[in-house]
């Protein structure tokens, strides 16, 4: 959304005449070939504006109903079958990738843009951990920070090594049956459940074979292999409570889920439209519904015609 907001706002800028520095006219979807002051200011202003707004919204969703405390640490490595850690990695990656694209759009070069995007993403995620550190319910989590580092590192290392993302981290979500038993923890509304219900989340590592087969045009550029991880049956962090406030909760089996699927890389579909390329790049953070095999320890392999 940040990428689309920045590039949509640039339409007016693109219609202006070149200034005294000789910066050429650019279409709103065209990358600058050298640092563009106007676009850089636009990115800085938009980022500085969205940062407090998003933090205010996140605070309202996560923290306002819980007591505050002095800053402290908290080891939550054993919670939610580590689904929260995988989600942290995706969060960091999904912030770094579009931010780096906007800096490339402003003419800052692949390596520098990647460093800017990864750095801002890591700072953003660290702010959330500081919020946790002052919350009596949680605390500053070193495992969360390691997951954040993995997400930003997964993006940055590929940009520095290959100047492209050959392995993309993606996300999908479906409504689970478990949130209704603990809506205060897993979310009541749909936006809350997307944020809080780890039962409905699946995070994917999507590998694009064509990017490793340079010069071989037989393999479709847009077709990738997706390996996913999820978990369900969870109504609590480390274990499921038998009751909450005297109200019994059904007993559910907690289980990890591994998925094998295919993925359509919209950003790799050939098109002359820079707008469609930009939109495809943003949507490319989401794993679109596709056939999948589900593998859970102790259970038989299960097939899904379409899994999201």
Do residue 129 and residue 192 come from a single domain?
A: no
Q: Say yes or no: 98 and 130 in one domain.
A: yes
Q: Are residues 192 and 131 in the same domain?
A: no
Q: Which of 115, 136, 163 is the last residue of a domain?
A: 163
Residue 19's pLDDT is what? 47
Whether residues 8 and 138 share a domain: the answer is yes
pLDDT(289) > 60? yes
- Same structural domain for residues 130 and 172? no
**Predicted local confidence at residue 141, as pLDDT:** 97
Which is nearest to 81 in space by CA: 254, 296, 294, 251? Answer: 254
Greatest C-alpha distance within the chain: 72
In a shared domain, residues 22 and 97? yes
Domain boundary among 124, 139, 163: 163
| Residue corresponding to tokens 């492209």 | 164
Question: 61 and 179: one domain?
Answer: no
37-95 pLDDT, tens digit per residue, is 999 999 999 999 999 999 998 888 788 888 999 999 999 999 999 999 999 999 999 99
The per-residue pLDDT for range 211-221, each reduced to its tens digit, is: 999 877 788 99
Residue 13's domain spans which residues? 1-163
Same domain, 171 and 132: no
- Detail the DSSP E strand segments found in 61-116: none
Q: What is the mean pLDDT of the chain?
A: 89
Find all residues with CB under 8 Å of 146, minimum gap 6, and list them: 85
CB-based burial label for 166 (10 Å; 0-12, 13-18, 19+): middle
pLDDT value at residue 23: 55
> Is the same domain home to 22 and 147?
yes
Given this model, what pLDDT does residue 123 score? 95
The stretch 134-139 carries a mean pLDDT of 91
Quick: pLDDT tens for 173-212: 999 999 999 999 999 999 999 999 999 999 999 999 999 9
Contact present, 201 and 192 (Cβ < 8 Å): no
Higher pLDDT, 64 or 36: 36
Domains in the chain, number: 2
Q: Tell whether 173 and 277 lie within a shared domain.
A: yes
Q: Are 292 and 250 in contact (CB under 8 A)?
A: no
| Cα–Cα distance, 128 to 150 (Å, whole number) | 16
Question: Which residue, of 163, 191, 206, is where some domain finishes?
Answer: 163
| C-alpha dist (Å) from residue 236 to 80, 106, 144, 161 | 7, 45, 18, 40
pLDDT tens by residue, 106-115: 999 999 999 9
* Position 16 confidence tier, pLDDT thresholds 50, 70, 90: very low
Strand partners, 292: 261, 304
Residue 20 reports pLDDT greater than 50 = no
Q: Does 27 share its domain with 96? A: yes
Same domain? 156 vs 212 = no
């Amino acid at each position: 959304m940040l990428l689309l907001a920045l590039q949509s706002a640039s339409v007016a800028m693109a219609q202006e005449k070149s200034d005294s520095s000789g910066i050429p006219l650019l279409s709103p979807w065209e990358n600058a070939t050298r640092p563009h002051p106007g676009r850089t200011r636009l990115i800085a202003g938009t980022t500085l504006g969205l940062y407090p707004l998003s933090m205010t919204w996140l605070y309202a969703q996560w923290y306002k109903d819980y007591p505050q405390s002095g800053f402290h640490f908290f080891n939550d490595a054993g919670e939610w079958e580590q689904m929260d850690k995988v989600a942290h990695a995706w969060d960091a990656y999904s912030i770094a990738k579009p931010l780096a694209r906007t800096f490339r759009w402003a003419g800052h070069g692949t390596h520098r843009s990647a460093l800017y995007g990864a750095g801002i993403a890591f700072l953003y995620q660290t702010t959330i951990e500081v919020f946790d550190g002052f919350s009596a319910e949680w605390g500053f989590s070193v495992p969360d920070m390691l997951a954040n580092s993995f997400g930003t590192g997964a993006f940055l290392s590929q940009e520095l090594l290959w100047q492209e993302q050959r392995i993309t981290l993606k996300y999908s979500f479906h409504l689970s049956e478990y949130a209704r038993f603990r809506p205060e923890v897993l979310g009541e509304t749909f936006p809350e459940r997307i944020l809080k219900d780890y039962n409905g989340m699946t995070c994917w590592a999507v590998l694009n074979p064509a990017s490793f087969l340079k010069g071989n045009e037989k393999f479709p550029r847009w077709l990738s292999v997706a390996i996913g991880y999820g978990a369900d049956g969870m109504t609590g962090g480390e274990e499921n409570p038998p009751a909450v406030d005297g109200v019994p909760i059904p007993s559910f089996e907690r289980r990890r889920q591994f998925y094998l699927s295919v993925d359509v890389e919209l950003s790799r579909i050939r098109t002359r439209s820079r707008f469609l390329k930009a939109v495809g790049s943003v949507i490319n953070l989401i794993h679109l519904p596709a056939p999948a095999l589900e593998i859970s320890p102790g259970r038989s392999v299960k097939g899904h015609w379409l899994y999201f």
